[in-house]
Amino acid sequence: MQRDSEEDAWRAIVENYGDRPEIDDAAAAEQSASRPPAGEIWAVDADDHEDPDDDPDADLDLGRADDERFVPPPPPPLPRLPPDRLLAWSGVFGSPAVLLVCLVFGVHLPPWLGYLLVASFIGGFVYLVVHMPRGPGDPYDDGARL
C-alpha cells in the first residue's frame, strides 16, 4: 500500500518538473515590502556609517619601537652525545646515506666497503636498541598529563 503512494509521489514530481509553484498574494506582498521597488535608490544617513577615528584598535600603534616586543631567551644548547652513541647514530643514518649517494651517482664501491657500511648500519641499530631505557622515566606517569 505504501509502495503505491511513494510511486504516486514520484510520478507527481516527475510530471510537474519545471513548473513554477504558485505564491500566495500575502507572501508575495510581504516579500516585496522588504525590498525597494526596482529603480528606487535608498538614501543612507551620514550618521549611520562608522567614523574611522572611533576605531577601538586605533590606539594600537603597529609602528612602535622594537624594544617593546617580546624577545624570547636563547634556547639551551643541544646536549652532547657520548662518542659511542654518536658512532651508532652515524652508522644508522650515515651508512644508508653513503650507499644511496653512491647508487645515485653510479660510484662503484668495493664489496668489502659495501659490507662494512651494511654492518655499521646493523651494528649501530642493535647498539641503540640494546641501550634503550627499559622503563619509563617517571614510574608514576601514566601518560595522561598534558
Q: Is the CA virtual torsion 103, 109, 111, 116 positive or negative?
A: negative
Residue 11, C-alpha cell as written in the block: 510520478
pLDDT value of position 137: 73
Which is nearest to 92 in space by CA: 114, 117, 113, 121?
Answer: 121
Digit-coded pLDDT (tens) for 105-135: 999 999 999 999 999 999 999 999 999 988 7
Are residues 117 and 92 in contact, defined by beta-carbon separation less than 8 angstroms? no
Q: Within its chain, how far is the Cα of 132 from the centroid?
A: 33
- Inform me whether the pLDDT recorded for 50 exceeds 90: no
Domain extents for the chain? 83-130
CA distances from 40 to 36, 43, 95 (A): 6, 10, 79
**Cα separation of 40 and 31, whole Å?**
16
Are residues 138 and 145 in contact, defined by beta-carbon separation less than 8 angstroms? no
Digit-coded pLDDT (tens) for 1-37: 577 888 998 888 888 887 776 777 766 666 666 565 5
Digit-coded pLDDT (tens) for 58-78: 555 555 555 678 888 999 999
Give the range among 53-62, 82-91, 104-113 with minimum mean pLDDT: 53-62
Reported pTM: 0.46
